Structure 1
């Protein structure tokens, strides 16, 4: 390899991971064995994480579908009350993400995730028994507490099992199933509309009850099949375990199976300006995309679809978004850069929001439906990129975990603003929601460029040190 080629490779890799002082792992399998190892890990870990994220997203998104099926009318909840219920989830979810991430340092991942799954399934089931605003609010708040532990634990699992150049494809794989959950939840809600009145229960109650029961059943599957660590994996050979541990050490996640948490890890993450830029990117995505997605069934009603058909029409939108997530993840890992995918996603989302806001609301429903795909396809595709980008750029498992957890916690807290930006009183123009989304997409583009510039400057400085 020529010096020019090596220098170019280092620059590309370090834009997604600035750990220039670490040496490549000394222990290496050959290419055939390495690919076989990655596929073996994929078969054990990715399906578990994908299924968990799918069911968690279905459970949390069921509220939007339940509102169309009559929850607000049945419980006598107005628009402001409904927004409070939606917001309560994200407040509790954000507050309890850091405590949950601390717990995972002391409990086997399979056991912790199984407990979380069983409990959030029971809470979802009980949501179907709510009799008033207070009951619905309490159920939603408690669901946020329990689901808060999943995504940080999932990111930790991926970081512990995969080298950094394989990271985003795996994050994208299980994140895409969560995006697809938008399709599944619409299909499930459509089917359950035909259960209205069965056993004296409204269809929206059946929606929560059946989804909750399925989630509880999943907990036992997680406990049996979720791998804990390479050191405990009986299905790996000794050579394969050594390779995974060597790659984990090189990526900055540490050589040890577990690591005691200290306040220093949180301080390290909280005082790194790059971490806060990643946090801001999460805020931009969450407010722009989640607020729009929660309003999507109502937007489709305004396009002229019935309540039942509006559920079905969400399916192609989320299917396209999932395809965008997987495609972006594949190319990001292939070119070893995260910034390019972020720029493309923000730009596509920005165009979609501008077009939807500017178009007349009483005509061209097909065109408006098409640009709904642009909004969610572009913005959902970014999220695995910025999570992987943040994880790649923080050495040391403690700081890495806290950096990603801060990004998730504050990013999810901001979602409350997104959910409350699409005001029912502003329908069908939603001036506040679209205006805020457009501004944040533009901001996301600028911050992505700033982060890329900072990382390239750091790489150039470290390259000079290495040469010296």
Structure 2
């Protein structure tokens, strides 16, 4: 057992509440909690979704600009374009180590707002890149400063919401990603018609527009993002304060500025951490390809450059529908991992369609179905947010997963080469194998968590809802912590 910790968001004495409802009784929110839940959603989630929207679309700008003249104007060949895609994730990777520490030490709202403002300026500066070295340096810096966004938002979701609500909230964030593909395609299409305005080309306007928007959202985030359960921005009543404390007990995430090294050592020794991390990497190898190459691939089906950009909209739509489907299935069947595996198998079907059909615009169906992999990744993020307890351990789980996320995105574009055009059979076969490996790893992680649950339930005195979260115990240290499968 560790000593009780001091936190900056909660008084531990407030947590001396009556025992929660026994685990055998289905939990039902009171009317007061339902009102609080809606308040948290409407005051936190819109801004959180806008941040993830921009985080996705700011990466996607390179994809759209590629078919609007960037490669020609900057004299970039296919190998250099691959490096532009990967250099972003190299910066993303480098920042994960300091990000793990800074997340625990700094106010998250101020920290994330500052990152947004800086990366918005960098993105706008990419409009001036006219050679590989300039664009490569800016892409690295862009990835470096964007790297703190997902961990920050996901940590806040894990802190503000009950464990049973995580799938819905993470799903909403991923829907924002899908909308980024949809509206990004529209804005990219519109940018193609800005050629010559103020002396800028269409691809340059893409960077300028999204750079300005990102800086503005950064300012709003700095001042108005709710970054802890007792935030003044929630205007909590005394009754809501008590309900918040009960919710904190459920999600087992009390913020602590004390860095717990034993949390990290415990996590490193857990097989499920590595299953989650490598599954993330294999999923993102596919993502690394489609984030950079989807417009080019669609153009190879016989669509024009501008139409290839516009046809990113169905990809975004299927991403949104896929996330809605997994959110429903997860709540309906109380499953996370099996739902993730199902989504990945739908994505695998899309890859098989691309490989099986020799040519023609019907191949677009394959690229649409492939994007359901994002729904599987959404469930993986839910599994991590829900099943890692202890503040330092939770941050470490998310941070290390993002390292592997980054590696996958870095590796993904290098599967592609001009020699495999126009059908790209060898790269697609590689992406299919990665997809299936991710399914296997998620299944192994589920088996390990299920076995741990059985061991805990067999212990004398087990009581699932009896947890003192002010001790900052990890899920392994807490004898009453049960993993959600």
TM-score, normalised via structure 2 length: 0.87
- Matched with 1:396 is 390
- Which shows bigger deviation, 112-121 or 337-346? 337-346
> What is the CA–CA distance in structure 2 between the aligned matches of 1:313 and 1:203, rounded to whole Å?
17
- Matched with 1:129 is 128
Deviation at 1:392, TM superposition (A): 1.7
Deviation at 1:330, TM superposition (A): 3.2
Q: Do structure 1's residue 120 and structure 2's residue 119 form an aligned pair?
A: yes
Correspondence 1:212-251 to 2 at 5 A: 212-233=211-232, 234-251=234-251
Q: Residue 375 of structure 1 is aligned with which of 328, 347, 370?
A: 370
- Matched with 1:107 is 106
> What is the CA–CA distance in structure 2 between the aligned matches of 1:310 and 1:329, rounded to whole Å?
30
> What is the CA–CA distance in structure 1 between the aligned matches of 2:205 and 2:460, rounded to whole Å?
62
- Which shows bigger deviation, 277-286 or 427-436? 427-436
- Which shows bigger deviation, 97-106 or 121-130? 97-106
Deviation at 1:24, TM superposition (A): 10
Partner secondary structure for residue 128 of structure 1: helix
> What is the CA–CA distance in structure 2 between the aligned matches of 1:148 and 1:423, rounded to whole Å?
28
Partner secondary structure for residue 227 of structure 1: coil
- Matched with 1:268 is 266
Q: Is the 8 A contact 2:191 2:205 kept in 1?
A: yes
Segments of 5+ residues of structure 1 without an aligned counterpart are 1-22
> What is the CA–CA distance in structure 2 between the aligned matches of 1:414 and 1:161, rounded to whole Å?
29
- Which shows bigger deviation, 431-440 or 27-36? 27-36
> What is the CA–CA distance in structure 2 between the aligned matches of 1:308 and 1:466, rounded to whole Å?
65
User: CA, structure 1 residues 341+313, in 2 after alignment: closer, same or farther (shift >3 Å)?
Assistant: same
User: CA, structure 1 residues 311+30, in 2 after alignment: closer, same or farther (shift >3 Å)?
Assistant: closer
> What is the CA–CA distance in structure 1 between the aligned matches of 2:447 and 2:455, rounded to whole Å?
12
Deviation at 1:466, TM superposition (A): 4.1
> What is the CA–CA distance in structure 1 between the aligned matches of 2:94 and 2:127, rounded to whole Å?
25
Runs of 4+ in 1 over 4 A off after TM superposition: 27-30
Superposed CA RMSD: 1.9
How many residue pairs end up in the alignment?
Answer: 440
TM-score, normalised via structure 1 length: 0.90
Q: Do structure 1's residue 321 and structure 2's residue 315 form an aligned pair?
A: no
Correspondence 1:26-425 to 2 at 5 A: 26=19, 31-233=30-232, 234-254=234-254, 257-361=255-359, 363=360, 365-366=361-362, 368-377=363-372, 379-425=373-419
Residue deviations 1:273-312 (CA, integer Å, cap 9, x gap): 1111001110121112331342211111111111111111
User: CA, structure 1 residues 160+25, in 2 after alignment: closer, same or farther (shift >3 Å)?
Assistant: farther
Residue deviations 1:25-82 (CA, integer Å, cap 9, x gap): 7368952122211111000111111001111211111011111111111111111011
Q: Is the 8 A contact 2:110 2:223 kept in 1?
A: no
Partner secondary structure for residue 465 of structure 1: coil
- Matched with 2:474 is none
> What is the CA–CA distance in structure 2 between the aligned matches of 1:423 and 1:26, rounded to whole Å?
60
> What is the CA–CA distance in structure 2 between the aligned matches of 1:190 and 1:38, rounded to whole Å?
38
Q: Is the 8 A contact 2:355 2:428 kept in 1?
A: yes
Correspondence 1:444-463 to 2 at 5 A: 444-463=438-457
> What is the CA–CA distance in structure 1 between the aligned matches of 2:19 and 2:75, rounded to whole Å?
65
Deviation at 1:187, TM superposition (A): 0.9
Q: Is the 8 A contact 2:272 2:445 kept in 1?
A: yes
Deviation at 1:200, TM superposition (A): 1.9
Segments of 5+ residues of structure 2 without an aligned counterpart are 1-15, 22-27, 463-485
Residue deviations 1:408-437 (CA, integer Å, cap 9, x gap): 122222211112112233111213321111
> What is the CA–CA distance in structure 1 between the aligned matches of 2:419 and 2:241, rounded to whole Å?
58
**Higher helix content, 1 or 2:** 1
Q: Is the 8 A contact 1:269 1:403 kept in 2?
A: yes
> What is the CA–CA distance in structure 2 between the aligned matches of 1:268 and 1:156, rounded to whole Å?
19
Deviation at 1:382, TM superposition (A): 0.8
Deviation at 1:320, TM superposition (A): 1.5
Q: Is the 8 A contact 1:183 1:315 kept in 2?
A: yes
Deviation at 1:467, TM superposition (A): 6.3
Q: Is the 8 A contact 1:118 1:219 kept in 2?
A: yes
> What is the CA–CA distance in structure 1 between the aligned matches of 2:241 and 2:166, rounded to whole Å?
18
> What is the CA–CA distance in structure 1 between the aligned matches of 2:178 and 2:261, rounded to whole Å?
34
- Matched with 1:430 is 424
Deviation at 1:92, TM superposition (A): 1.1
